[in-house]
Amino acid sequence: MSLSLPSQLVIAGVVLWVLSSLYQRFFAPSPLDNLPGPKSSSLLTGNLTDMFNRNAWDFHRRLIHEYGPVSVVRGLFGERMIYVFDPKALHHIVVKDQYIYEETPVFLNFNRLFFGKGLLSSLGEEHRQQRKILNPVFNINHMRHMTPLFYDTAHRLRNAISRQVTNGEQEIDMLSWLTRTALELVGQGGLGWSFDKLDSPDPNTLAEFLKAFVPTVSPLFLLMRFMPFFAQIGPAWLRRKAIESVPIDRIKKSIEISDTLNRTVREILDLKKAALASGDEAVTSRIGEGKDIISVLMKSQMEGSEEDKMSDEELMGHMNSLIFAAFETTSGALSHILHKLSEHQDVQEKLRQEITAAREGRDSIPYDELVALPYLEAVCRETLRLYSPIATLNRRTTQDIVMPLAAPVRGKDGKTFTEVPLPKGTDVAIAAWGSNINPAIWGEDAEEWKPERFIQPLREAVTEAHIPGVYSNLMTFLGGGRACIGFKFSQLEMKVVLAVLIETFKFEVPKDKDIYWNFSGVQFPSVGREDEHGQLPTIVSFAKSM
Ligand code: HEM
Ligand SMILES: *[C@@H]1O[C@H](CO)[C@@H](O)[C@H](O)[C@H]1NC(C)=O
Ligand SMILES: *[C@@H]1O[C@H](CO)[C@@H](O)[C@H](O)[C@H]1NC(C)=O
Ligand SMILES: *[C@@H]1O[C@H](CO)[C@@H](O)[C@H](O)[C@H]1NC(C)=O
């Protein structure tokens, strides 16, 4: 059997890596071994398969409750990974020493490969520059400006669902609708583009494709850990060839999805450019003052000096990354809110009353009033706390660094310590979910869904913990220089969609279906174990008018 050069390189990379990992495992004991953590009996994968699979919730729960705010988990071939949600350590990881705790090569290469250059694949100065260019798209003024666009989309969604329930209650897959809505909202608000008028009951092709991305890619996690090796070996086209030559359906499917996204983005860009060149008034004036992402980027492209001009490829990388970052997370979070409201009819009714009273017979609730609705805010916060769409985020240290802790921890040798020296190259899992459900901070009822938590004054332990999250003492949107740039955008989307849907419809859980949230890279709802793409079957009817 003869193998192609790319395959040979992949194999050589893997062999090298296995040898170096085995060396680390057996001949290089580490001070990290004194940290609490589960015993791993599998030499091959340690506890990684426990940590990243559909049912990983219980494993994470055990790490959080049995081993506490900092622990060590064994990965592939015994490699060590720090699992941490101590608030002071988190502050150092995402704020103070953020340039030492960098995104992992796997994450960066993966994003570069599938989406191109963008916020999700850059580091350091380049990343800071990109944030500076994109920030105006996400400021409060722009949010206010986008509110009518968001309402317009939400109203179209309402019409589409109304048509389905005119003859009485129906079971509807709300994930499919919310996915389409999330795509349309990032299109309208982010790209100045409409992907889906939401006027057809048939699923939108691009939305379905994108929705399949995370479920398709997540099980590749273990494989993806091999990527850094050949990523360092050859030029980009060779890496791409190597990936394409891997005979695994999931990989082919992932490439197909990212190519479809990239093609769509190319079309949008070409149309905008053509309109600009032909002096199309509507587009030209939009580019001038437009705050959507394409307009901002094209403006920066036109104004940039020759040498630092942004290339089309870069521009497309940004667009791909944004659509991807905005899409799955928001549709997942919205679906989770709807699912909780379906389970808790009392909360749903109370929310409906708040929304109806606030609208006061007007067409919609204006921005400032909408964002100030206390119960709506509490429902969103509590769901984003307990069901953080992204449960853990990975970082790797680029040099030796001491990670301080807020509270002392007892090591396996019985001694307590208040800081952990991490060698260069240590994998660190930021346990966002762990921080959000830490009972020492949120109380013994931390794993219960209680929107009231955010109506009453917050526990002192919460305010005093100084959790470095950008939003509401939560790690859901992270903090520091790589925090979610779209967190306000995302909240506005959720509130607009909820305000419109909850007032019009009543949502209930179907009696004969068990909805299970697949852990995945971004958690998604599914029915039964064989459901690969996710769905949220929901019984929908018109709410009784009050
Ligand atoms: C509930 C919804 C959302 C959640 C939970 C969420 C969460 C996150 C998290 C945890 C990160 C950090 C990733 C990392 O450092 O590895 C992130 C980054 C990012 N998010 Fe979000 N996000 C949401 C919605 C959005 C939306 C609506 C947009 C855009 C419109 C967006 C755009 C981005 C971008 C561009 C980044 C990369 C930022 C950077 O690296 O500088 N996100 N998000
Ligand atoms: C870690 O993995 C080993 C087997 O690989 C298993 O026996 C052990 O229960 C796992 N630990 C936890 C906490 O699940
Ligand atoms: C999610 O669930 C599907 C089956 O429903 C499963 O095949 C897949 O492996 C799960 N994803 C992860 C990341 O475990
Ligand atoms: C997207 O397409 C452009 C060509 O239009 C190409 O240069 C770029 O590499 C593609 N990006 C990805 C991530 O495939």
Q: Cα separations (Å) of 448 from 332, 346, 382, 430, 509?
A: 19, 16, 9, 22, 19
Residues with CB under 6 A from ligand 1: 119-120, 131, 186, 190, 321-322, 325-326, 329-330, 333, 389-390, 393, 476-478, 482, 484-486, 489-490
Six-digit token string for 148: 């009518």
- Spatial neighbors of 278 by CB under 8 A, at least 6 apart, are none
Q: Is the CB of 45 under 6 A from ligand 2?
A: no
505: part of which helix (H) or strand (E)? Answer: strand 505-508
Six-digit token string for 235: 């030029």
Q: Is the CB of 218 under 6 A from ligand 3?
A: yes
Q: Is the CB of 266 under 6 A from ligand 4?
A: yes
Answer yes or no: are the C-beta atoms of 473 and 459 closer than 8 Å: no
Instruction: Calculate how far, in angstroms, residue 295's C-alpha sits from the geometric centre of ligand 4.
Output: 20
pLDDT for residue 495: 98
- Please choose from 396, 484, 493 the residue to mutate so as to test ligand 1's pocket, defined by most ligand atoms within 8 A of CB: 484
Instruction: Calculate how far, in angstroms, residue 269's C-alpha sits from the geometric centre of ligand 4.
Output: 12
Give the amino acid at 250.
R
Burial per residue of 75-108, b for 16 or more beta-carbon CB atoms within 10 angstroms, e otherwise: bbbbbbbbbbbbbbbbbbbbeebbebbbbbebbb
Instruction: Calculate how far, in angstroms, residue 54's C-alpha sits from the geometric centre of ligand 3.
Output: 5
Q: Is the CB of 49 under 6 A from ligand 2?
A: no
Q: Is the CB of 520 under 6 A from ligand 3?
A: yes
Give the Cβ contact number of residue 41 at 10 Å.
8
**What SS3 class is residue 105?**
helix
Six-digit token string for 98: 């953020």
336: nearest Cα among 498, 187, 186, 198: 498
Q: Is the CB of 54 under 6 A from ligand 3?
A: yes
Q: Which CATH number applies to 28-542: 1.10.630.10, 3.60.20.10, 2.40.50.1020, 1.10.490.130?
A: 1.10.630.10
Which stretches within 387-479 are classed as H helix?
A: 432-436, 439-442, 460-464
Closest atom of ligand 4 to CA, residue 313: 7
Answer yes or no: are the C-beta atoms of 103 and 443 closer than 8 Å: no
pLDDT for residue 395: 95
Verdict on whether the full-model pTM lies above 0.85: yes
pLDDT for residue 159: 96
Ligand with the closest atom to the CA of 219 = 3
HSE of 291, CA atoms in CB hemisphere, 13 A:
13
Ligand 1, atom 43, lies closest to the CA of: 484
Ligand with the closest atom to the CA of 52 = 3
pLDDT for residue 408: 95
Beta pairing partners, 81: 73, 427
Answer yes or no: are the C-beta atoms of 384 and 476 closer than 8 Å: yes
Instruction: Calculate how far, in angstroms, residue 261's C-alpha sits from the geometric centre of ligand 4.
Output: 10
pLDDT for residue 275: 75
Instruction: Calculate how far, in angstroms, residue 216's C-alpha sits from the geometric centre of ligand 4.
Output: 21
Distance CA 477, CA 469 (A): 7
pLDDT for residue 190: 81
Q: Please identify which residue in the block is written with the tokens 């930021």.
A: 430
- Spatial neighbors of 252 by CB under 8 A, at least 6 apart, are 244
Q: Where do the domains of the chain lie?
A: 28-542
Give the amino acid at 351.
L
Within the chain, which residues score under 50 in pLDDT? Answer: 230, 287-288, 546
pLDDT for residue 288: 43
- Spatial neighbors of 447 by CB under 8 A, at least 6 apart, are 386, 437
Q: Are strands 416-422 and 401-410 parallel, antiparallel or unpaired?
A: antiparallel
Q: Is the CB of 313 under 6 A from ligand 4?
A: yes
498: part of which helix (H) or strand (E)? Answer: helix 487-504
Does the annotation flag 380 for ligand binding? no
Closest atom of ligand 3 to CA, residue 53: 14
